[in-house]
Chain A
Amino acid sequence: MILVNILMLVVVLAPVAVVMWMSFTPTATFVLPLTDFSLRWYREALSYPGFIDAFWLSFELATLAAVITVALSFLAAYGLARYRPRGGGALKAFFTAPLLVSAVVFGIAMLQFVNRIGLYNQLSGLVLAHVVLVVPFAIRSLEVTLRAVPEELEWAAMILGRSRLGMLLRVTLPLSARGLVTAFLFCFLLSFSEVTTTIFMTGPSLQTLPVRIYSYMSDRIDPTVAAVSALVVMVSIVLVAVLNLLGGLRRLTTE
């Protein structure tokens, strides 16, 4: 069992490790063993406008998608958690349904849809697609967050004279802050990493960072792309570390 574990860990971690390694080699080709260490390819990558533009597009897209998703999902999760409406179970199933639809199928659907309504190659179409893709995760995590806020606190606030909106702003939101940040970071991370659906929806003029890396790789493989990939990995690692600190990872994986 130990051997199987070690083997699996190597297989799981090797590709990322090798990308990091490659990004620091001084030469354009691979040599063993690695003796020198260089930031040459990072400079190269950061001066390549294709990657910089793509990074900002990805950043903008992930931020918009995460903000919209968290805001709408928080409202919906609140409605479901507090009012328990008839049909609430069906609604929750509806919100988590995108998990059942693979990214390829959704990508095809989105492609044909955005063309139909004239949003092909538009940021707004991408935002819509990414929101749908991350809503299932946001809904689940925010429902857990809201269940941890005692309803008595909300009653107390309203009895003390706050309208429901005032109560939400003054009591429920502050007490859900940690869960909101967790959901935001998680949505951001998922959107920032999304490749498949995005590839189907955009042309060469609107490429997110993962799509740009993908098309660069289809052409050639050199340490520059490894350096960009390494940067992407570092962004993910930082986000994951923050998520872990907030206690969000365990919640998302075991729910």
Chain B
Amino acid sequence: MSLELVDVAKTFGTVPAVDGVSLSVASGEFFTLLGPSGCGKTTLLRVIAGIHPATAGRVLLNGRDITHAPMHTRNLAMVFQNYALFPHLSVFDNVAFGLRSRRVGREEIRTRVRDALAMVKLEALAERLPAQLSGGQQQRVAVARALVVRPDLLLFDEPLSNLDARLRDEMRFEIRDLQRRIGITTVLVTHDIEEAFTMSDRMAVMQGGKIMQIGRASEIYRAPASRFVANFVGPINELTLGAIETVDNRRRARAAGELAVWLPDLEGTSRAAPASLILRPEVLRVSAGELGTDNRFPGKIEDVIYLGASSECRVKVGAVRLSAVMPSAAAAQLQPGASVSVGWDAKDGVVVDAG
């Protein structure tokens, strides 16, 4: 079942929470709405669910316009941040709730609930009340309750934020695995980049009620469309660029006022707006010897920070500070105070609008 949003907007009073969002999610796809708190992602999810009716725009589920359909007719399912299990009903009755609403027969309810509980490995706890379960178990009940109704669309609202770190990792893979096995179209809301990256096929990064970029994890990470996206999904070095000039079909600019750097090949003409060069720490090379990279500058190591598998090396080039991340083995021979070369290939940089 595919989902399509066309120019969806939602205003509370005069405050726009979602501001003209269009996107489409393919059948069977795991799609994530990623963004900082207050970016409108939860409101957008609730518009899809019908909790908040859209102020403008259309919501299409498999081509059917459900923009104004009452919640209970949409045939979707949602897993809430606090799970929203019914505290007065047993695990079994919680899972059976949606089936009873759909007037499914007793026998079928029993088998389907049992299967759903088996799927999340909770068969043994069917008679418990939610309060008698651990956070992870409650989460599983919520997932079973959502899946058992065979919804056209599965919605997750920050489903893992109430779990401890270890359990969160486990549940990520479990949910992803279940989703793939069943092949259900899924929309997840999260502010956790790791969660978005590990679970989703594609994601939309949101800010201020608008979508900033849609793409796969690698696209968003390697080719962020804006400074905000680049900064939000990972650590960056940012160098402001002066006027961009073209030399021998290659582009060049003065970075941070002092470094002449080669830029990646850009489609289109040179940019008019002030731009920044974004460099992920892991694309920077640091060496005591010579570097073969497109850009290379002499610098001095300020600090080397051991992070386990990798190490962070802070290098000062003139007045510019750069942070490079490399395998710890490679960082072993670098000493603070040593003179080194630091460099990167032009294609590894990203040019975005500054500010």
Contacts and interface: CB of A to CB of B under 8 A. Distances in A.
B148 to A, nearest CB: 9
Contact of B49 (A155, A162, A163, A175): A155
B110 interface: no
Interface in A159-189: 159-163, 166-167, 170-171, 174-175
Contacts of A161: 72, 75, 98, 101-102, 149
A203 to B, nearest CB: 48
Contacts of A162: 72, 101
Interface in B72-105: 72, 74-78, 80, 82, 84, 86-88, 97-98, 101-102
B72 A150 contact: no
A155 B101 contact: no
A159 B145 CA distance: 11
A36 interface: no
Contacts of B84: 150, 152-153, 155-156
5 shortest interchain CB distances as A-B pairs: A161-B101, A160-B98, A152-B84, A156-B84, A158-B71
B225 to A, nearest CB: 33
A168 to B, nearest CB: 12
B50 interface: yes
A152 B86 CA distance: 10
B38 interface: no
Nearest to B76: A159
B51 interface: yes
22 contacts: A150-B82, A152-B84, A153-B84, A153-B86, A156-B78, A156-B84, A156-B86, A158-B72, A159-B49, A159-B51, A159-B74, A159-B76, A159-B77, A160-B97, A160-B98, A160-B145, A161-B72, A161-B75, A161-B98, A161-B102, A174-B88, A175-B88
A175 to B, nearest CB: 6
Contact of A160 (B70, B82, B87, B149): B149
Contacts of B70: 158, 163
A171 B97 CA distance: 10
B177 to A, nearest CB: 23
Contacts of A166: 72, 101
B71 A155 contact: yes
B58 to A, nearest CB: 20
Contacts of B97: 157, 160, 170
Given A152-B82, A156-B78, A160-B145, A175 B71 contact: no
Interface of B: 49-51, 70-72, 74-78, 80, 82, 84, 86-88, 97-98, 101-102, 145, 149
A160 B77 contact: yes
Contacts of B51: 155, 159
Interface residues of A, number: 18
A170 B145 CA distance: 16
B80 A160 contact: no
Interface of A: 150, 152-153, 155-163, 166-167, 170-171, 174-175
A174 B98 CA distance: 17
Contacts of A156: 78, 80, 84, 86
Contacts of A163: 70, 72
Contacts of B101: 157, 160-162, 166
A158 B80 CA distance: 13
A163 B101 CA distance: 9
Contacts of A157: 86, 97, 101
A153 B78 CA distance: 11
Nearest to B88: A174
A162 B78 CA distance: 14
> Most chain-B CB neighbours within 10 Å: which of A155, A156, A162, A166?
A156
Contacts of A170: 97
A175 B87 contact: yes
Contacts of A171: 86
A171 B87 CA distance: 9
B263 to A, nearest CB: 49
A156 B71 CA distance: 10
Contacts of B80: 152, 155-156
A175 B102 CA distance: 22
B72 A159 contact: yes
A43 B111 CA distance: 63
Contacts of B50: 158-159
Contacts of A155: 49, 51, 71, 78, 80, 84
A158 B88 CA distance: 17
> Most chain-B CB neighbours within 10 Å: which of A150, A160, A175?
A160
Contacts of B71: 155, 158-159
Contacts of B98: 160-161
> Most chain-A CB neighbours within 10 Å: which of B49, B78, B84, B97?
B84
